[in-house]
């Protein structure tokens, strides 16, 4: 069951989804790509226990320093060769999107994965038709947690960022972006990691453990 922390509008005017770790299970693959990049480019550096949700263009210069461009090339070369074969929908995601596709409000994806790769993955799963717009890293002059991509996503529907817009993500970058933009923040957290619930840094309005949780909120108006 979801943890509803604050009352917020239901139904929403729009829903923004993060991609990796929310609608698709790619965390292990991304970690593999990073490990390969680390071992190839800078094995002398201490590898972090967890990769932050920042885009590569924001994170790699800090971690790899002067080798950032080479690291980005190696990382994306690995990803481009393997990402579609590693792509798996999150349990319940296909049903959730079919359900939400019948609702009157638009759906969006906002990810820090490179835009062209992101859209290729969405299309590979035949999900493109569910979303009014899909924005990834490099599509705007700034990536999450900047609020600029949120504004650009919503402007075509003449919707302003507010609590009427739900932002579903699995990382602190998503919650920071949702909070700064004024959207309702729904943190998707693995059900088997409830002991780490206090790890979220930015305020959230609800904690959900599955795609089914999100669907139940909409169906049963559990707010």
Q: What is the pLDDT at residue 121?
A: 95
For residues 164-188, average pLDDT = 94
pLDDT band at 220; cut points 50, 70, 90:
confident
pLDDT above 90: residue 106? yes
Interior angle at CA 25, CA 21 and CA 28, nearest 5? 95
pLDDT above 90 as % of the chain: 53
Name 89's Cβ contacts closer than 8 Å, sequence gap at least 6: 23, 24, 25, 125
Three-state DSSP class for residue 169: strand
pLDDT above 60: residue 82? yes
Q: What is the pLDDT at residue 223?
A: 43
Which whole-number Å values give the CA distances from 157 to 33, 154, 177, in the listed order? 36, 6, 19
Q: What is the pLDDT at residue 110?
A: 98
| Fold category of 3-25+88-220 in CATH | Rossmann fold (3.40.50)
pLDDT above 80: residue 54? no
pLDDT in tens, 115-153: 999 999 999 999 999 999 999 999 999 999 999 999 999
Residue predicted with more confidence, 208 or 195? 208
> Is the pTM of the predicted complex or chain greater than 0.85?
yes
Burial class from Cβ neighbours inside 10 Å (0-12, 13-18, 19+) for residue 189 reads buried
pLDDT band at 222; cut points 50, 70, 90:
very low
Joined tokens for residue 222: 């559990």
For residues 84-90, average pLDDT = 92
> Rounded distance, CA 73 to CA 81, Å?
12
């Amino acid at each position: 069951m979801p943890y509803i922390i604050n009352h917020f509008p239901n139904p929403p005017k729009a829903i923004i989804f993060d991609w990796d770790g929310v609608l698709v299970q790619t965390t292990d693959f991304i970690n593999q790509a990073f490990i390969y990049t680390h071992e190839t480019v800078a094995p002398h550096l201490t590898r972090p226990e967890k990769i932050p949700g920042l885009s590569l263009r924001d994170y790699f210069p800090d971690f790899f320093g002067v080798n950032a461009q080479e690291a980005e090339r190696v990382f994306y070369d690995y990803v481009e060769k393997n990402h579609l074969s590693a792509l798996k929908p999150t349990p319940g995601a296909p049903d959730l999107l079919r359900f939400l596709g019948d609702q009157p409000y638009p759906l969006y994806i906002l990810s820090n994965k490179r835009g062209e790769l992101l859209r290729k993955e969405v299309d590979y799963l035949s999900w493109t038709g569910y979303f009014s717009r899909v924005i990834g890293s490099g599509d705007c002059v700034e990536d999450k947690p900047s609020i600029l991509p949120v504004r650009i996503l919503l402007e075509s529907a003449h919707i302003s960022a507010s609590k009427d817009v739900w932002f579903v993500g699995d990382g602190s970058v998503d919650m920071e972006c949702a909070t700064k933009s004024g959207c309702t923040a729904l943190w998707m957290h693995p059900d088997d990691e409830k002991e780490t619930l206090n790890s979220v840094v930015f305020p959230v309005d609800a904690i959900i453990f599955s795609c089914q949780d999100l669907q139940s909120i909409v169906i049963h108006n559990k707010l």
